[in-house]
Chain A
Amino acid sequence: METLELTQEEQFQARIDADERIEPKDWMPEAYRKTLIRQISQHAHSELVGMLPEGNWITRAPSLKRKAILLAKVQDEAGHGLYLYSAAETLGASRDQMLADLHSGKAKYSSIFNYPTLSWADIGCVGWLVDGAAILNQVPLCRTSYGPYARAMVRVCKEESFHQRQGFEIMQTLCEGAPEQKAMAQEAFNRWWWPTLMMFGPKDAESPNTERSMQWRIKRFTNDELRQKFVDMMVPQAEFLGLTVPDKDLHWNEDKKAYDFGEVDWDEFWQVVKGNGLCNHDRLQARVQAHEDGAWVREAALAHAKKRAEKAIS
């Protein structure tokens, strides 16, 4: 009888195909490790930078209730960033290096946060649309093949639905309010709709990493599949709010039981990815400044801990 010798890589793929989870100390192809570090750290960076456009409205929230809720939401985003950084660290990435890559512009974060939050309705749109899109991306990641990433995503998803609901409630309140409030909601919706569709990434045909990520079960749905799902989910919600989707090509397709919709402006998408969005510069600058301003705190805490440890010995 002939025995089949599987290479390490084939054994690894067999475990993935059997839907086994991969844990930090298990053997894994170098490319799998690299892909995960890139994806998880980008995801963590997005949570961190995502605090900036919303933090912009904490001091200007229209009521104490809204302010307390927004504060809790922004704190959650910091928490999500930390869950994810710690998942990336199990792959051997260092926190300092990941932050340095973010600050130097080498690492990317979600382009959606390079758009400004101009009115209070933008905070509604960020929760309802942006977090709604994030949830669609994130729910399948709860079953991603790398254990620590999947576990972090379970915690993130539990918290994320509060974010989306608070955003929807802001929009609902505005849409049921004065004509000026309704107009404010529509104006913000017009600006956020298309950038939110871009959050799912380039078209499948132009997403070279998708196939391998699907094979490794890091990803479970393609960009276009998720984008379609999002449109089908959100159009009825916009209708409920009485908002008009800013897409003249949008219509229900009875044959495919889904919406047909217009083409995303891919030129704008790539411009923002390349750093030429409205807020790329501000976001990065704010992040770097926060990090530099906090340097003395990090140093002092280390010095204090060292002093205490030395005292405990003597």
Chain B
Amino acid sequence: MTQSEWPLWEVFIRSKQGLDHKHVGSLHAADAAMAMQNARDVYTRRLEGVSIWVVESRHIHASNPNDAAAFFDPAADKVYRHPTFFEVPDSIKHM
């Protein structure tokens, strides 16, 4: 191969107003404008979206799955963050 590939981009789509953008996949494009057009053609041929974000993949930083246990550990022993931790007397309404 004599020349390098077009950079890789990650595509995020808002399926309708009021919902958040969700990752749908990736594609190759020479620049952001082309990534946007390609994303439209590849990922929204059936009106799957009203808004698209494209981000060059090299800009995404991901947590390490090998560290997941330790990384997410601080939340594991704080059950009191959940409302079900607290007992409410039966006679109390609207809580």
Seen from chain A, the residues whose Cβ lies within 8 Å of a Cβ on chain B are 23, 25-27, 72, 75-76, 79, 82-83, 86-87, 89-90, 94-96, 100, 148, 151-152, 155, 159, 298-299, 301-302, 304-305, 308-309
Contacts and interface: CB of A to CB of B under 8 A. Distances in A.
A299 B6 CA distance: 9
Interface string B1-29: 10111101000000000000000111110
A86 B25 contact: yes
B27 A82 contact: yes
Given A82-B42, A94-B5, A159-B46, A25 B26 contact: no
B25 A25 contact: no
B64 to A, nearest CB: 7
B66 interface: yes
A89 B26 CA distance: 9
B3 A95 contact: no
Contacts of B27: 82, 86
B50 interface: no
A308 B62 CA distance: 29
Given A79-B42, A298-B3, A152 B65 contact: no
Contact of A95 (B25, B28, B62, B66): B28
A76 B30 contact: no
Contact of A27 (B34, B62, B66): B66
B25 A298 contact: no
B46 to A, nearest CB: 7
B5 A96 contact: yes
A298 B2 CA distance: 12
A151 B45 CA distance: 17
Interface in B43-76: 45-46, 62, 64-66
Contact of B64 (A25, A155, A308): A25
Contacts of A301: 6, 30-31, 34
B1 A83 contact: no
Given A83-B42, A152-B25, A301-B34, A100 B6 contact: no
A76 B25 contact: no
Given A89-B8, A298-B6, A96 B26 contact: no
Given A299-B3, A301-B6, A25 B62 contact: yes
Nearest to A90: B26
A85 B27 CA distance: 9
B53 to A, nearest CB: 16
A87 B66 CA distance: 21
A304 B30 CA distance: 8
Contacts of A26: 65
B92 to A, nearest CB: 40
Contacts of A76: 45
A79 B45 CA distance: 9
Contacts of B65: 23, 25-27
A86 B29 CA distance: 12
Given A23-B65, A159-B45, A299-B3, 10 more contacts: A75-B45, A82-B42, A83-B42, A86-B26, A86-B27, A87-B25, A89-B26, A155-B24, A155-B25, A301-B31
